Structure 1
Amino acid sequence: MPKPTPDNPVVIKDPQAIRALAHEARLEALEELISSQSSRTATELASRCGLTPSAMSYHLRALEKYGYVERAPSEGDARERRWRAAGDRIVVESFNQKAPAKTAFLNVQLNAFRERLAAEIDRREAEAAAGVEPAPDRAPVLTTGMVFLNDDQRQEFVKRVYDIVREYESKAGPEERGVDGKRLYYMLSFLPEIVESELPKPKPAIQRPGLPKR
């Protein structure tokens, strides 16, 4: 049995902190640090994000300002600062406060995923053009669908999917989590059907007395 992973979320409540993630390089760097649970230098992260080390250092300081990342102990060459995630996952709790911040955060995540989908399609087309036979069990680029579940089944379904993710996360050691480790990107979204009649009703507006006439 794999050992359970510690639960150390970074809880974000400030809309300004959500806006700080509305940048592809920042989101990719943060994803790298959270997923690896290892430290990285600005140079290492810059090479993955297509930026200069100085530009990545700027973005890391912005992420540090809002509590996403923190300084890590030096390894070997102490001249270059190392960074690590401030937790093992991000929890956003201000979605019901500021629509622009919410939209910006979602758009950056979806755009990054869209680019990865396009890159994978291009890679498979290049392999087909070169006559490379795909593995018979290769997963499709994207799978969507729906299942019919009651409330208890839905909770079990979501839990089992995340249990698989946590199981394989716990199996990765320092070598697999290194800068040169092989990565598999995924995006999970469980969207229950929205029934208008079951949505909570907005609170009635507070009627304020008018100003007295002079």
Structure 2
Amino acid sequence: MADERAESGGMRIGDPRVMRALAHPARIEIVEHLNDTGAAVTATEAAALVGLSPSATSYHLRELAKYGLVEQAPSRGDGRERVWQSTSSGLRIDADLDEPATRAATQTLIDLYLHRDQERLRAWIQRQPDEGPDWRDAGTIMGQRLLITADELKEINAKVRELVEPYRMRERQESAPAGARRVSVSYAAYPED
């Protein structure tokens, strides 16, 4: 039920049923972890990531599988435990916003992502004094106001995507240089009223 693959092996999501299935903090964390790492995990391993019981996590994994966001991975051995893997390396919301049900599902899912990203940013700000000077100086919050056309904004978006692509965790985790850490990059560019 998840839609066609997007650029960089990602998946486009436009179906409101898929968005509603994903719109749960634990499900987003599971899908994000699997997409970022390419790992295959059991419900017990996923439960440790999201702080839920293995049975609750198993339910979430089955729901995600119903909508094509994860799938069963090959067995690791005895075949008794179910192993799950991602079906893509990323997600892109690509919804028909003229459809009320799709608009509502999109808003709910985006609100969840924004809340999660704000919490991550707040956590960084709180622990920033405890970080080493290199990481304190490297982290940033930046805001710019531009005067541009829609085509220029599309060009900027493409350049930002191209700039960060070589550093994606999934592709780089085996070859990252010493001292590399997972870093969240949240980027939003939108016209003001």
**TM-score by structure 2 length?**
0.78
* Counterpart-to-counterpart distance in 1, 2:148 and 2:51: 43
Q: Shift in Å at residue 76 of structure 1?
A: 4.7
1:12 and 1:91 in contact (8 A); partners too: yes
Report the AA paired with residue 62 of structure 1: E
CA gap of 1:117–1:77, structure 2 versus 1, over 3 A, is farther
Point out which structure has higher relative CO (alpha carbons under 8 A, 6+ apart).
1
Choose 1 or 2 for highest CA Rg: 1
1:30 and 1:68 in contact (8 A); partners too: yes
Q: Secondary structure at the match of 1:20?
A: helix
Q: CA RMSD in A?
A: 2.7
The alignment status of 1:112 with 2:111, answered yes or no, reads no
* Counterpart-to-counterpart distance in 2, 1:115 and 1:7: 27
**TM-score by structure 1 length?**
0.71
* Counterpart-to-counterpart distance in 2, 1:10 and 1:96: 21
Residues 180-201 of structure 1: CA distance to partner in whole angstroms, max 9, x if unpaired? x94222222221345xxxxxxx
Name the structure with the higher helix share: 2
CA gap of 1:137–1:91, structure 2 versus 1, over 3 A, is closer
* Counterpart-to-counterpart distance in 2, 1:143 and 1:40: 36
* Counterpart-to-counterpart distance in 1, 2:97 and 2:127: 36
Q: Secondary structure at the match of 2:108?
A: helix
Q: Secondary structure at the match of 2:106?
A: helix
Q: Shift in Å at residue 143 of structure 1?
A: 2.1
* Counterpart-to-counterpart distance in 2, 1:137 and 1:77: 49
2:42 and 2:84 in contact (8 A); partners too: yes
Identity, in percent, stands at 34
1:12 and 1:94 in contact (8 A); partners too: no
User: Alignment length, in residue pairs?
Assistant: 180
1:10 and 1:67 in contact (8 A); partners too: no
Residues 81-105 of structure 1: CA distance to partner in whole angstroms, max 9, x if unpaired? 2211112222332433223312211
Q: Residues 9-20 of structure 1: matches in 2 within 5 Å?
A: 9-20=10-21
The alignment status of 1:139 with 2:139, answered yes or no, reads yes
Q: Secondary structure at the match of 1:95?
A: coil
Q: Residues 65-76 of structure 1: matches in 2 within 5 Å?
A: 65-76=66-77
CA gap of 1:71–1:148, structure 2 versus 1, over 3 A, is same
CA gap of 1:148–1:121, structure 2 versus 1, over 3 A, is same
* Counterpart-to-counterpart distance in 1, 2:144 and 2:78: 49
Gaps of 5+ in 1: 1-5, 195-214
